[in-house]
């Protein structure tokens, strides 16, 4: 992994549209939990699915708008990965809670959650060393697979009525994203250890 040159942060306004989209993604976390705990049946599933898909879209949109409008900010860069990890973690916990993810599938959920914690810790450590790690194409594929798998699993039994076998497909995608999670997590760990040894 190469060190990425830091980009200039031109706009630190807390209420810029990209930052508002990030705030919305954070607020989607308790809303998702409420959908899965207070609502019942297909309504709960479709509401959770809609919230998660909207959050996934804003994940791409806030970064695109920040770059296009030159509104990248330190606040946005801090909150963006936090929002991603919160929504993914909440979705995984809810899916395990209602047994959509069960048996061996729980291992895939644990792998993904542990990787997110590992990467957060490594980023904090590397930031203290003034080192930035470039996001690889493989990591982007991991995120896409992960978001797709979780969206499918959140729709769950409600979607199964229209597309039989879709839950099994969602579990396959979850395992694929877990394997990519291990791979990309190892890349981050290797970079962290290398920089620690150099210092």
Binned at pLDDT 50, 70 and 90, residue 68 comes out as confident
**Per the domain annotation, does 2 fall within a domain?**
no
Residue 42 CA to residue 53 CA, distance in Å, equals 16
The answer as to whether 10 is a domain residue is no
- On whether the CB atoms of residues 154 and 48 are closer than 8 A, the answer is yes
| Pick from 101, 91, 75: nearest CA to 168 | 101
Which pTM value belongs to this model?
0.83
Q: Which of 156, 148, 196 is nearest to 173 (CA)?
A: 148
Total domains in the fold of the chain: 1
Q: Which residue range(s) make up the domain with 45?
A: 17-198
The neighbour count for residue 94, using CB atoms within 10 Å, is: 22
pLDDT tens, residue by residue, 94-135:
999 999 999 999 999 999 999 888 877 777 777 666 666 666
Give Cβ neighbours of residue 162 (< 8 Å, ≥ 6 apart).
Answer: none
11 belongs to a structural domain: no
What confidence score (pLDDT) does residue 80 get?
Answer: 82
CATH number of the domain at 35, please. Answer: 1.20.120.1760
Measure the CA–CA gap between 49 and 91, rounded to whole angstroms.
10
Which residues on adjacent β-strands are paired with residue 153? none
> What digits encode the pLDDT tens for the residues 142-188?
889 999 999 999 999 999 999 999 999 999 999 999 999 888 887 77
3-state secondary structure of 132: coil
Q: Does residue 1 belong to any structural domain of this protein?
A: no
The rounded distance, in Å, linking the Cα atoms of 191 and 1 is 7
Residue 162 included in any domain:
yes
* Per-residue pLDDT band at 59 (split at 50, 70, 90): confident
The reply to whether 172 falls in a domain is yes
**Beta-carbon-side half-sphere exposure of residue 2 (alpha carbons within 13 Å):** 4
């Amino acid at each position: 992994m190469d060190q990425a040159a830091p980009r200039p942060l031109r706009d630190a306004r807390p209420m810029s549209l990209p930052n508002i989209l990030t705030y919305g993604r954070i607020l989607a976390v308790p809303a998702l939990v409420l959908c899965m705990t207070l609502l019942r049946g297909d309504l709960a599933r479709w509401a959770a699915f809609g919230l998660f898909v909207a959050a996934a879209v804003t994940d791409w949109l806030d970064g695109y708008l920040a770059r296009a409008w030159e509104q990248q900010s330190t606040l946005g860069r801090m909150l963006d990965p936090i929002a991603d990890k919160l929504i993914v973690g909440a979705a995984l916990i809810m899916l395990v809670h209602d047994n959509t993810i069960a048996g061996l599938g729980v291992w895939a959920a644990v792998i993904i959650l542990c990787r997110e914690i590992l990467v957060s810790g490594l980023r904090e450590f590397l930031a203290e060393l003034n080192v930035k790690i470039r996001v690889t194409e493989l990591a982007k594929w991991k995120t896409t697979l992960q978001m797709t798998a979780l969206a499918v699993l959140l729709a769950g039994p409600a979607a199964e009525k229209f597309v039989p076998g879709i839950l099994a497909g969602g579990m396959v995608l979850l395992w694929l994203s877990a394997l990519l999670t291990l791979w990309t997590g190892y890349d981050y760990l290797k970079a962290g250890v290398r920089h620690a040894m150099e210092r």
